[in-house]
């Protein structure tokens, strides 16, 4: 039993005992007073009657007449006259008058009417004695009315005291509840402080808790800074700050494996010509400045295009990945023109050559990398600022497309209206290869008799048409229906663009409230970029959905977690580490160290950690040694092919 409940029960018991005690004492005191008054009345009436009878000089008829008159006009139960010889001379008795007080009350609190006795004499001659006994009904009635009044007054007083006690208990319970919530938040990885109460003992407790939370927050921030330093050491080039070769290749592989990757893309390779001779003439410092200038020009382009990656492959070579096809040659010429304006300040010998390739869905990674290298070699042979585009792979044809944005929108709306959609399943496995949940990307059938298309096919147009919220709601609805049929936990990816719809969170909450049992088996996740760019919206969505029982987390995380200043306040349950961080963790100790530190930090926030894109047995062993709680990717799909759908 909680301390507050014990205090409440103690106060209630005290008030009840005080109330009952006060009522009993008041009633008992009133009863004693009434009995005393009744005894004195009987005695006084007997004395008065004896004086009147003494004046009758022993005339029996007159004495009887006086006593009868007294009995008839008074409120007596009996009047008796006992002669001097001890024999009854006159006796008059009546039935007990019923009281208006309840019967149980008169039985519980009986009132004795003590007889009043007085001697009757005629001068010096004793005539006998008279005995008077009054009725008790009026006394019971008075006692009943007094008891009701006393109980009512004490009840009002008890109610006032109960309200005062409630205020006192609340003054104690509210700070304690805040401290309990603070402790629970700490368990959940959230660092919150609470206002200090005025009660000295609770004030000291709250102050100590706030101090501890502040210190833990400082420790977490230091740990986050250390993780960020390890990330930079493992994934970035120390001179330019862009991705190093290993990390860029991991980003490239992850981008091509993603369900949201456009089937066609572009790769651009840039080489600083004759870097050794440039370094000899300019010196190391100026050469590094030139290299940084090139990387900044490429990085500026990448920051403007979502999904674009820049990497430094070696001392003289850079790479730029374009997430969509058809723009590679144009981009290469634009970068060449930018280099013509940037590099001459470092001398006439500073120049670059660019090779580019359009990546088609049919290309394997070795194919397009080889094609890009060949294009770069031809550009380098041509000289400064030359651009070469590799030939497309033979046998590739154009993909069918609808004519115009309006047609795309109509097909998307029709697919949503008719629910031409399905979820495919990819397993997320724990350490024993048992499913934690199934990742369920959405496929849309844009044409009534066509195939089900991946998000890469329709998502850009859905973003432009502002249909992502409706698509996400359909995906959640399908997941809840599937959970109801299979009982398996499913995970649905939400689009960051849906957060910008002010009614999206409320509608999503309504869907979960309609199926509360299934909602507890639903996992919902947003990309890491959403928490970086729209932290408050992510936090609000978490507040709306987590009370319904759904799990909430981030996917594709690791690159920008350090930029989320209040990650511990986001209300997350889990984080999925991006495949670009996972790839190569088995062979690169720096990358493995970064992964271990990242997992340790996230576990410190009580977050479940899942590794994405695990492809080989060696990678599976490495990420599990890093401490992740689960993994997904091609390796997991091969292990549990029975769960695919």
Query: What is the average pLDDT across 385-408?
Result: 63
In this model, does residue 565 exceed pLDDT 80? no
Query: What is the average pLDDT across 608-631?
Result: 93
pLDDT level of residue 404 (50, 70, 90 thresholds): low
Q: Which residue has the higher pLDDT, 205 or 517?
A: 517
Query: What is the average pLDDT across 80-103?
Result: 83
In this model, does residue 393 exceed pLDDT 70? no
> E-assigned strands of 602-641?
608-611, 630-632
Q: Which residue has the higher pLDDT, 460 or 590?
A: 590
- Mean pLDDT over the full length of the chain: 85
Helix axes 468-486, 504-514, angle to 10 degrees: 10
pLDDT of residue 465: 82
One of 3.30.70, 3.20.80, 3.90.930, 3.30.450 is the CATH number of 3-160, namely 3.30.450
- Helix, strand, coil percentages (3-state) for the chain, rounded to 5, are 55, 15, 25
pLDDT of residue 645: 60
Q: 273: phi > 0 → left, psi -120 to 50 → alpha, else beta; which?
A: beta
One of 3.20.20.450, 3.40.50.720, 3.10.20.30, 3.40.920.10 is the CATH number of 404-643, namely 3.20.20.450
- Name the one residue in this structure whose structure tokens are 């060696």: 618
**Which helix (H) or strand (E) covers residue 78, if one does?**
strand 76-83
Indicate the SS3 state at residue 114.
Answer: coil
pLDDT level of residue 1 (50, 70, 90 thresholds): low
Instruction: Give the separation between CA 507 and CA 497, rounded to whole angstroms.
Output: 15
Number of alpha carbons in the 13 Å side-chain half-sphere of residue 278: 24
Query: What is the average pLDDT across 41-65?
Result: 84
Q: Give the tens place of pLDDT for each residue, 18-29.
A: 878 888 888 888
Number of alpha carbons in the 13 Å side-chain half-sphere of residue 506: 3
Instruction: Give the separation between CA 63 and CA 233, rounded to whole angstroms.
Output: 127
Dihedral angle computed from the Cα positions of residues 39, 40, 46 and 50, in that order, rounded to the nearest 10 degrees: 150
Domain with CATH 3.20.20.450 in the chain: 404-643
pLDDT level of residue 400 (50, 70, 90 thresholds): very low
pLDDT level of residue 463 (50, 70, 90 thresholds): confident
For the chain, what percent of residues have pLDDT higher than 90? 26
Query: What is the average pLDDT across 416-442?
Result: 93
In this model, does residue 482 exceed pLDDT 60? yes
Q: Which residue has the higher pLDDT, 411 or 398?
A: 411
Helices and strands: H and E segment counts in the chain? 21, 21
Q: Which residue has the higher pLDDT, 398 or 16?
A: 16
Query: What is the average pLDDT across 238-260?
Result: 85
Provide DSSP, 449-499: TSPEEPHHHHHHHHHHTT-HHHHHHHHHHHHHHHHHHH---EEEE--GGGG
pLDDT of residue 628: 94
pTM for this entry: 0.67
One of 3.30.70.270, 3.40.190.10, 3.40.50.12780, 3.40.50.2300 is the CATH number of 239-389, namely 3.30.70.270
* Lowest-confidence pick of 136-140, 390-394, 401-405, 448-452: 401-405
Residues 6 or more apart in contact with residue 615 via CB below 8 angstroms: 583, 633, 634, 635
In this model, does residue 467 exceed pLDDT 70? yes
Query: What is the average pLDDT across 504-526?
Result: 93
Domain with CATH 3.30.450 in the chain: 3-160
In this model, does residue 369 exceed pLDDT 80? yes
Q: Which residue has the higher pLDDT, 256 or 3?
A: 256
In this model, does residue 398 exceed pLDDT 50? no
Rg, Å, the chain Cα set: 47
* Lowest-confidence pick of 89-103, 376-390, 522-536: 89-103
**Which helix (H) or strand (E) covers residue 357, if one does?**
strand 352-359
Q: Give the tens place of pLDDT for each residue, 324-358.
A: 878 888 889 989 998 988 888 888 888 999 999 98
pLDDT of residue 397: 41
Instruction: Give the separation between CA 346 and CA 626, rounded to whole angstroms.
Output: 45
In this model, does residue 430 exceed pLDDT 50? yes
pLDDT level of residue 97 (50, 70, 90 thresholds): confident
Quick check: 415 and 406 in contact, CB under 8 A?
A: no
Q: Give the tens place of pLDDT for each residue, 163-215.
A: 887 787 777 777 777 777 777 777 666 777 888 877 777 778 788 888 887 87
Tokens of 591: 């990358």
pLDDT of residue 165: 78
Domain with CATH 3.30.70.270 in the chain: 239-389
Residues for the chain: how many in total? 645
240 burial via Cβ count (<10 Å: 0-12, 13-18, 19+)? buried
Query: What is the average pLDDT across 551-572?
Result: 82
Query: What is the average pLDDT across 134-162?
Result: 84
Tell me how far the alpha carbon of residue 24 is from its chain's centroid.
52
């Amino acid at each position: 039993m909680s301390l507050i409940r014990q205090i409440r029960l103690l106060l209630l018991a005290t008030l009840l005992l005080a109330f009952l005690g006060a009522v009993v004492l008041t009633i008992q005191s009133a009863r004693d007073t009434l009995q005393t008054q009744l005894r004195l009345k009987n005695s006084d009436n007997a004395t008065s009657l004896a004086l009147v009878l003494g004046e009758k000089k022993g005339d029996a008829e007159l004495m009887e007449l006086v006593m009868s008159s007294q009995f008839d006009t008074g409120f007596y139960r009996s009047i008796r006259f006992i002669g001097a010889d001890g024999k009854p001379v006159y006796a008059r008795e009546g039935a007990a008058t019923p009281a208006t007080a309840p019967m149980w009350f008169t039985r519980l609190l009986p009132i004795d009417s003590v007889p009043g006795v007085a001697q009757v004499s005629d001068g010096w001659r004793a005539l006998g004695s008279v005995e008077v006994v009054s009725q008790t009904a009026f006394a019971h009635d008075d006692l009943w009315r007094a008891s009701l009044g006393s109980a009512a007054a004490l009840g009002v007083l008890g109610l006032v005291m109960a309200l005062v006690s409630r205020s006192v208990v609340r003054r104690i319970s509210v700070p304690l509840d805040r401290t309990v919530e603070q402790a629970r938040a700490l368990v959940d990885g959230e660092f919150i402080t609470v206002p200090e109460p005025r009660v000295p003992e609770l004030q000291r407790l709250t102050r100590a808790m706030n101090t501890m939370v502040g210190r833990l927050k400082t420790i977490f921030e230091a740990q986050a800074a250390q993780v960020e330093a390890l990330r930079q050491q493992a994934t970035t080039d120390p001179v330019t700050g862009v991705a190093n070769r290993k990390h860029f290749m991991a980003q490239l592989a992850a981008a091509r494996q993603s369900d949201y990757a456009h089937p066609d893309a572009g790769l651009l390779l840039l080489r600083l010509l004759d870097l050794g001779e440039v370094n000899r003439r300019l010196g190391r410092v100026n050469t590094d400045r030139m290299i940084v200038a090139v990387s900044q020009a490429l990085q500026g382009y990448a920051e403007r295009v979502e999904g674009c990656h820049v990497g430094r492959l070696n001392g003289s070579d850079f790479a730029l990945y374009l997430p969509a096809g058809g723009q590679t040659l144009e981009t290469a010429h634009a970068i060449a023109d930018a280099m013509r304006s940037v590099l001459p300040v470092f001398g006439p010998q500073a120049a670059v050559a660019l090779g580019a390739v359009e990546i088609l869905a049919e290309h394997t990674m070795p194919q397009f990398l080889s094609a890009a290298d060949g294009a770069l070699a031809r550009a380098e042979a041509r000289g400064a600022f030359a651009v070469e585009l590799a030939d497309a792979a033979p046998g590739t044809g154009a993909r069918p497309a609808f004519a115009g944005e309006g047609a795309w929108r109509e097909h998307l709306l029709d697919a949503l209206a008719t629910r031409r959609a399905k979820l495919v399943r990819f397993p997320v496995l724990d350490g024993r290869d048992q499913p934690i949940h199934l990742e369920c990307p959405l496929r849309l059938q844009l044409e009534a008799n066509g195939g089900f298309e991946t998000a890469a096919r329709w998502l850009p147009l859905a973003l432009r048409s502002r249909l992502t919220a409706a698509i996400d709601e359909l995906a959640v609805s399908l997941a809840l229906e599937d959970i109801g049929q299979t009982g398996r936990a499913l995970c649905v990816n939400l689009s960051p663009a849906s957060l910008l719809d002010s009614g999206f969170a409320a509608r999503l909450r309504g869907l979960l409230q309609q199926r509360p049992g299934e909602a507890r088996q639903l996992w919902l996740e947003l990309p890491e970029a959403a928490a970086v760019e729209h932290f408050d919206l992510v936090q609000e969505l978490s507040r709306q959905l987590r009370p319904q029982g759904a799990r909430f987390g981030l996917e594709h995380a690791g690159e920008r977690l350090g930029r989320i200043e209040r990650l511990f306040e986001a209300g997350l349950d889990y984080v999925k580490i991006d495949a670009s961080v996972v790839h190569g963790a088995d062979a690169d100790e720096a990358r493995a160290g970064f992964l271990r530190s990242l997992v340790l930090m996230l576990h410190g926030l009580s977050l479940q950690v899942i590794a994405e894109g695990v492809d080989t047995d060696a990678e599976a062993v490495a990420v599990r040694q890093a401490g992740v709680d689960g993994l997904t990717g091609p390796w997991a799909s091969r292990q549990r092919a029975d769960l695919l759908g």
